[in-house]
Structure 1
Amino acid sequence: MSVERSENLESLIGSALSAIRNLETQIAILGEDVGRLTAEFSQERAKVQQEREEKDIFYSLETGTPYVVAAPDTIELRAMEKDLIDSALRASTLERRLFDFVSVLSVSRRQFESDGELPDIDSASDIALRTARVQAQEDERRRFAREIHDGPAQAFANAIIGLEFVERAIKMGDNDKPIPALDEIERIKGSLREGLTEIRRFIFDLRPTMLQDRGLIATIEHYIATYRSILPLNVELHTVDHVPRLTHDQELTAFRVIQESLHNSTKYARASQVAVNIAIRDDSSITVSIRDDGRGFEPDQVSAHTMGGSGIKGMCERAELVGGAVTVKSSPGQGTCINLVLPLVHS
C-alpha cells in the first residue's frame, strides 16, 4: 500500500511539473502574441504620423504660411495617433508583465525539478524581489525611451518636416514671390537647439556622476538649477545644512525619486510650482518630499500602464530595495505630494 501511495505521489509531482510547464508555454505564447500586437500598433502609428505630416506640409504650402502648421483636416489623424501610442504602451506593459510571470514560473519549476520542492513563501518573495529589480531597470529604460521619443526625437522629427517644407517651398517659388523658407529655417534651428538641450539633460539623468564626487545635496542643487533653465517650472529647494552620508544606493534612490517627481509634475500634473524639501527626522531617517500645485489625481486609480503609473511604482520599488518607503498623497485639483523616507546609516 505504501509503495502504491509513493507511486501515486510521484505521479502527482509529475503532473504538477507538467502543468507548470504547460502554463509557462501558454503564457509565453500569449506574451509573443501581445508583442506582435505592440509592433502592429507602432507600425500603424508610424503610417498615421506620416499621413498627418504630409497633410500639414501640403496645407502650409497651399496657404502660404512661413512655417509648418497643423492642417484642419488632421484632427482625427492626431486623435488616432494618440490612441495608437496609448494602446502600444498598454500592450508593451502587458507583454513585459507576462514574461515576468513566466520567469517566476520557470525559476519555481527548475527548483521543483532539482530539489523536489516548490519555493516557500520566503523563497518566492526572494524570486519576486529579484524580478522586481530587473523589472525596475526595464521600466526605467522604457521611461527614458519614451522621454527621448517625446523630447529630442520629436524635435528632430519636426526639423525633418520643416526641411521638407523648405525644400518644397523653394521648388515652388519664383522670382516674383518671396519664399517663406528663411522663417522656417529659423524655426528648425530652434527645434534642433531644444533637442540638443534635451539630450544633454538625458545624459546627466542617466548617469549623475556628481553623486559620488559631491554628494546628494550638491547634485540635487545642480539638477534643479538645470531644470529651471530649460523648463518653465518654478522649483524651490529647501534643505538642511548638513545631510549625514547615505549609502550610494540610497543617494541614487533619493535623486531618482526627485527626478521622477519633477518629470511627473511637468508632464502629467502640468504644475507651475514645485517645492522640494529635505529634512532629518529624529536623527534616524532622512525625508525627501516633493509637492506640486498640479491637477492631482486619485492614487488608487493609477495603474502601471497609465501615464506616470510605472514611474510611481518604480519609485516605491527603489525605496523598498534600500530599506525606505515612498508615500503618495494626491487628489484631483489639489496637487500631489511624494514623500520618501530613508533610514540613516550610523557608523
Structure 2
Amino acid sequence: MSVKTREKDLDFILDEMVEVVENSKDEIFHIGEEARSEYEILLRELEYTKQKVLEYIEDGDKLEQNVRYSRKRLSEVSKYFDRYSEKEIREIYESTHELQTKLVILRQEERALRYKRDDIERRLKNLDQTVKRAENLANKISVILTYLTDDFRQVNDMIEEAKEKQEFGLKIIEAQEEERKRISREIHDGPAQMLANILLRSELVDRTFREGSPEDALEEIRNVRKMVRSSLYEVRRIIYDLRPMALDDLGLIPTIKKYASTTSDYHNVNIEFTSMGELDRINQRYEIALFRLAQEAIQNAIKHAEATLITVNLEICPKNINLVIKDNGKGFDPTIKRDKSFGLMGMRERVEMFDGIMDIKSSIGKGTKVIIQVPYERALVE
C-alpha cells in the first residue's frame, strides 16, 4: 500500500470520526435545549401550583371555621331539640354535612396539589442536572472536535512523508515528556512550594495568635494573603501558557500582546510587540500556529539566549503573514547541529505545515533573529 493511499485512508477515518462527534454534539445540544425548555415550563407550572396550594389552604381554613360554627349550631339544636322545627333541624344537619364534605374534598385536593408541587420540584432538580450534564458533555466534545479538526490534522500534515512518520512519533513523545516535566517542575517550584509555605505560615499565625499579640498575628495573616495572591498568579500563568483563552475570544494580535506583557513582567525582560497590516481575525489554524511560534521563540530567547530585550513584529499582508522575533541574547551558531533541540525543530515543522519558510540568523554574542513567512490568502483558507 502506497504512502498516499495510507494518508487518504487516514483522512477518511478522521472525516468519519469528526462527523460522528459533530452529530453527537448536535444530539446532546438538542437534549440540553429540550431539557431547558421543559425546565422553564415546569418552573411556571410550579409557581402556579404553589399559588393554588396557598389558595386551597386559605379556603380550607375559612371552610373549617364554617364547619366548626355549623357543628356548634348542630350541637345546640340537638341540646334544645324542642325549640326548633323539623325543617330547621334538617337544614342545619344538611348544611353541616355539606360543609364537612366540602372540607374533606378540599383537603384531598390540597394534598394532591402538594404532592404535585413536590413532584414538580423533584423533576426540576433532575432536569437541572440533565442540563448541566449536557453542557459538560458538549464542552468535552468541543475539546475532542478541536483536537480532531486542528491538532490532529496538523499532526497528519506533518507526517506526510512516510520515512519521517516513525521518527516524528518519537519526537512527539519526547516533546510531550519534556512538556510534562516542564509543567511538573513549574508547579513544584511555584504553586506547590508556595502552598507548603502557606501551610507553615498558617500554623505560625495560629501559634502567634495564641502565644503572641493580635497585631503580630494580623501581620502574619497579611503575609499569608500575599503568598496566596502570588500562588494564584503562578497558577494562572501556567494555565495561560498551556492555552490562552484570549486566542479564541479576541484573536492573534491581542493574545500575543497580552502574552508579551505578562511574560515581560514575570521574567523581568523587556519585550516589545508591534503589528502591521490587516487587523481582522484570521483563520484559527493560523492563529494557533503563529501564537505557538511566537511563544516558543520568546521562551527560547529568555531561557537559552538570556536576552534582556526581545522584539516581536507581526505583519499580516494580503498574501502572506510575516513574524519576526529578535533578541539581544548570547546567540549561537546555526550551522552546528544541536542535540535535542526540539523547540526549533517543532517550529520548523509547524511552519512547513503551512508551506512557509523559517530563517534563523544568529551568531555567538550578537543575538538571534527568527524570520517566519507563511503564505496566507483569506479567500483560499476561510
TM-score (norm 1): 0.51
Question: What amino acid is the match of 2:323?
Answer: V
Q: Which residue of 1 aligns with 2:276?
A: 240
Alpha-carbon distance, 1:244 to partner: 6.5
How far apart, in 1, do the equivalents of 2:250 and 2:196 lie? 40
Alpha-carbon distance, 1:213 to partner: 2.8
Question: What amino acid is the match of 1:214?
Answer: L
Q: Which residue of 2 aligns with 1:296?
A: 331
Question: What amino acid is the match of 1:274?
Answer: I
Q: Residue 285 of structure 1: which of 316, 320, 326 is its match?
A: 320
Alpha-carbon distance, 1:345 to partner: 2.3
Q: Which residue of 2 aligns with 1:315?
A: 347
1:261 to 2:293 alignment: no
CA contact (8 A) 1:136 1:317 kept: no
1:146 to 2:182 alignment: yes
Q: Secondary structure at 1:198's aligned position in 2?
A: helix
Q: 1:201 to 1:150 in 2, by over 3 A?
A: closer
Give the structure with the larger helix fraction: 2
CA contact (8 A) 2:195 2:231 kept: no
Alpha-carbon distance, 1:337 to partner: 1.0
How far apart, in 2, do the equivalents of 1:212 and 1:320 lie? 23
CA contact (8 A) 1:211 1:252 kept: yes
CA contact (8 A) 2:273 2:311 kept: yes
CA contact (8 A) 1:152 1:194 kept: no
Q: Which residue of 1 aligns with 2:364?
A: 332
Question: What amino acid is the match of 1:239?
Answer: S
| Bigger radius of gyration among the two | 2
143-152 or 259-268: which moved more?
143-152
Q: 1:346 to 1:124 in 2, by over 3 A?
A: closer
Q: Which residue of 2 aligns with 1:209?
A: 245
Alpha-carbon distance, 1:223 to partner: 1.7
Alpha-carbon distance, 1:126 to partner: 3.5
314-323 or 293-302: which moved more?
293-302
Alpha-carbon distance, 1:189 to partner: 6.6
Q: Residue 274 of structure 1: which of 306, 310, 314 is its match?
A: 310
Q: 1:162 to 1:200 in 2, by over 3 A?
A: closer
How far apart, in 2, do the equivalents of 1:251 and 1:137 lie? 24
Alpha-carbon distance, 1:222 to partner: 2.0
Alpha-carbon distance, 1:157 to partner: 3.2
Alpha-carbon distance, 1:346 to partner: 4.1
Q: 1:248 to 1:304 in 2, by over 3 A?
A: farther
Q: Residue 373 of structure 2: which of 341, 344, 347 is its match?
A: 341
Alpha-carbon distance, 1:162 to partner: 8.9
TM-score (norm 2): 0.47
CA contact (8 A) 1:249 1:322 kept: no
Alpha-carbon distance, 1:234 to partner: 0.9
Alpha-carbon distance, 1:231 to partner: 2.6
Alpha-carbon distance, 1:164 to partner: 6.8
CA contact (8 A) 1:136 1:318 kept: no
Q: Residue 126 of structure 1: which of 162, 186, 205 is its match?
A: 162
Q: Which residue of 2 aligns with 1:46?
A: none
CA contact (8 A) 2:202 2:224 kept: no
CA contact (8 A) 2:356 2:375 kept: yes
1:198 to 2:234 alignment: yes
Alpha-carbon distance, 1:149 to partner: 0.5
CA contact (8 A) 2:329 2:365 kept: yes
Q: 1:185 to 1:288 in 2, by over 3 A?
A: same
> Matches of residues 38-77 of structure 1 in structure 2 within 5 Å?
none
Question: What amino acid is the match of 2:291?
Answer: F
Q: Which residue of 2 aligns with 1:37?
A: none
Q: Which has the higher contact order (CA 8 A, sep 6+)?
A: 1
Alpha-carbon distance, 1:323 to partner: 1.8
Q: 1:225 to 1:154 in 2, by over 3 A?
A: closer
1:34-56 C-alpha deviation (Å, 9 max, x unpaired): xxxxxxxxxxxxxxxxxxxxxxx
Alpha-carbon distance, 1:312 to partner: 1.2
Q: Residue 263 of structure 2: which of 218, 223, 227 is its match?
A: 227
